[in-house]
Amino acid sequence: MRAIILNATSRAEWPAAEYNRPVAVGVHLVSQKVCTEKPVAAVTPRVMHQDGETYGYVHLVERHNVDAGWNVVASNDAIGLDPASVPREMTLQRFCLERPLQGFGLRDADVSHGVEPVSLSEGCTSGYRNTILIDLTPMREAPR
């Protein structure tokens, strides 16, 4: 975990005014679990969005017996759209995280992002897609 966080912080490009500020680091584990009774799992929000943090990173921990789960990075014009229906002209990248620790990062204000649901692979009784989300935001002084 330490290596993932250090990698994320080393890739962030900070404006000079924020370079020496402490950084708030958020770490979240997201697990999308599926089974025969619930063969599709989605994350929230289910639409293209921004998180409000300065930088966001997503790393796959593991996926097992699931299909789909396509990540979409698009222009801000796509905010509010279903990731599966983002028009090609708004789409900057569309990809599926397949290997452990494969991931991506983005400067939140520059783009929108979302992920399509995962579904249970044919012939399987259960599955999951686990990801780690890391967000970085410079801390600001409280008003006096």
Q: pLDDT tens-digit profile of 53-100? A: 999 999 999 999 999 999 999 999 999 999 999 999 999 999 999 999
Quote the CA–CA distance of 111 and 139 in Å, as a whole number.
22
Of 22-26, 38-42, 70-74, 125-129, least confident by mean pLDDT is 22-26
Q: What percent of the chain shows pLDDT beyond 70?
A: 97
Between the alpha carbon of residue 61 and those of residues 27, 64, 68, 86, 103, the distances in Å are: 13, 10, 16, 26, 9
Mean pLDDT of the chain: 94
Domains and CATH numbers, the chain: 2-138 (2.60.120.620)
pLDDT exceeds 70 at position 32: yes
Coil, strand, or helix at residue 105?
strand
pLDDT-derived band at 144, boundaries 50, 70, 90: low
Amino acid 2 reads R
The confidence score (pLDDT) of residue 15 equals 84
pLDDT-derived band at 143, boundaries 50, 70, 90: low
The confidence score (pLDDT) of residue 142 equals 60
Structure tokens belonging to residue 74: 């698009």
Question: Could you tell me if 129 and 69 are in contact, meaning their C-beta atoms sit under 8 angstroms apart?
Answer: yes
